[in-house]
């Protein structure tokens, strides 16, 4: 089967966590490319309304190729049922708990859910002879970098929280699968900081409670749900003293998954890719770009540094460009514009 043949209705992708922020944007890109998509999500941190919105974006014909299973990935019986009824080519594994701070107070839940689900998943995949998996890893595995930009060869550093360890350890678990059985095909995608929303304004990030991450917080200030942005530290060794990150538009990130999927056909082994833009943006630059997008100067207050934060990180994405033919298209202005469109159309997310 050639690469073009794969992009047809008989290429079936199982997306775990497909109702989440990155998952739902990836589901849109897959459906638009003609894949058959199976979503498994327990809706513990997402909403089924996401799939209706996905339907508005891709249209009723493409939605015929989507099936949804409400279950936790640790539910072996459901996974068995899914693999019995479908010939799945590849799994894209997003499902997992992701709040850094919460992971510190709930380590058992984080290790058990994130690692337990992945073990169940790969065990079932092995049983049914499906050995292609793309895993959502994170730039968190690089820790506090010695050198920038970060390449895939940059060393992994010990994690500073249980969430980070789960990403770190799942990478190693999946690597071990390939060592034991070289017919496995594993792609580890290390995301930098995904933000933004689908340009339609129909799907986006919908954090429960007080947002932990910068842009969802800024978005809630912009829409009037919070008073001011808290800037965690302005005494870092960066041009304006605030932390610097490589923010990437979630649609670019989603397309990175499709590029990886097309690239991994008919090859084996384990490969790692950074997915970022290669550009660093400070906290104050984000607030400025968001202020321009929403047309109001957003208020902020400077607070002490947040424990565990690194000064700066950004990616070298040459490898993804050369091997996957993928490169981020959107800049920080685009990311803020699309985030604002989503937030202003849906001030309380999917629920209201």
User: Which residues are annotated as catalytic?
Assistant: 163
Can residue 217 be called a binding residue for ligand UFG (CB under 6 A)?
yes
State both tokens at 146.
Answer: 């010695």
Can residue 238 be called a binding residue for ligand UFG (CB under 6 A)?
no
Q: Is 82 helix (H, G, I), strand (E, B) or coil?
A: helix
| Binding test (CB under 6 A) with ligand UFG, winner from 214, 260, 289, 335 | 214
Quick check: 143 and 157 in contact, CB under 8 A?
yes
Q: How many residues bind ligand UFG (CB under 6 A)?
A: 19
**Closest alpha carbon to 250 in 306, 305, 328, 325:** 328
The residues in 239-258 that bind ligand UFG, with binding defined as CB under 6 A, are: 243, 245
Can residue 330 be called a binding residue for ligand UFG (CB under 6 A)?
no
State both tokens at 24.
Answer: 């739902």
Contact string 285-304 vs ligand UFG (x = CB under 6 A): --------------------
Q: Among 4-12, 50-58, 197-205, 213-221, which window interacts with ligand UFG (CB under 6 A)?
A: 213-221
DSSP line for 235-294: -SSSTTSS-EE-EEEHHHHHHHHHHHHHHHTT--EEEEEEES-S--EEHHHHHHHHHHHH
| Binding test (CB under 6 A) with ligand UFG, winner from 69, 111, 128, 232 | 232
Strands 90-93 and 132-138: parallel
Can residue 95 be called a binding residue for ligand UFG (CB under 6 A)?
no
The residues in 182-201 that bind ligand UFG, with binding defined as CB under 6 A, are: 193
- 91's CB contacts (< 8 A; 6+ apart) are 13, 14, 15, 16, 121, 125, 130, 132, 133, 134
Contact string 121-150 vs ligand UFG (x = CB under 6 A): -----------------xxx----------
Q: Which residues contribute to the site for ligand UFG (CB under 6 A)?
A: 98, 100, 138-140, 164, 193, 212-214, 217, 230-232, 243, 245, 283, 306, 309
């Amino acid at each position: 089967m050639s690469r073009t043949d794969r992009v047809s209705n008989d290429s079936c992708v199982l997306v775990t966590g497909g109702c989440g922020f990155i998952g739902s944007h990836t589901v849109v890109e897959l459906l638009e490319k003609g894949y058959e998509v199976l979503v498994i999500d327990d809706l513990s941190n997402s909403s089924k309304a996401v799939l209706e919105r996905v339907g508005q974006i891709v249209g009723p014909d493409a939605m015929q190729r989507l099936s949804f299973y409400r279950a936790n990935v640790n539910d072996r019986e459901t996974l068995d049922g899914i693999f019995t009824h479908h010939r799945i080519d590849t799994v894209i594994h997003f499902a997992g708990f992701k709040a850094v701070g919460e992971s510190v107070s709930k380590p058992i839940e984080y290790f058990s859910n994130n690692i337990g689900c992945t073990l169940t998943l790969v065990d079932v995949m092995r049983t049914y002879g499906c050995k292609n998996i793309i895993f959502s890893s994170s730039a968190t595995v690089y820790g506090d970098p010695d050198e920038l930009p970060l390449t895939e060869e940059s060393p992994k550093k010990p994690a500073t929280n249980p969430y980070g360890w789960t990403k770190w350890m799942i990478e190693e678990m999946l690597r071990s699968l390939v060592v034991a059985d070289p017919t496995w095909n594993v792609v580890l995608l290390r995301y930098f900081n995904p933000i933004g929303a689908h340009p339609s304004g129909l799907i986006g990030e919908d954090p429960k409670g007080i947002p932990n991450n910068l842009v969802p917080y800024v978005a809630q200030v912009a829409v009037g749900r919070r008073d001011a942005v808290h800037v965690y530290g302005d005494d870092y060794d960066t041009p304006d003293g605030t932390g610097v990150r490589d923010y990437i538009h979630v649609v670019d990130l989603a397309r990175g998954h499709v590029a990886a999927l097309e690239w991994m056909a008919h090859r084996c082994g384990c490969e790692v890719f950074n997915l970022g833009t290669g550009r660093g943006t400070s906290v104050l630059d984000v607030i400025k770009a968001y202020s321009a997008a929403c047309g109001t100067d957003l208020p902020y207050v400077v607070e002490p540094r947040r424990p565990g934060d690194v000064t700066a990180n950004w990616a070298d994405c040459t490898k993804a460009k050369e091997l996957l033919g993928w490169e981020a298209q959107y800049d920080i202005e685009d990311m803020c514009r699309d985030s604002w469109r989503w937030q202003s159309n849906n001030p309380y997310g999917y629920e209201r």
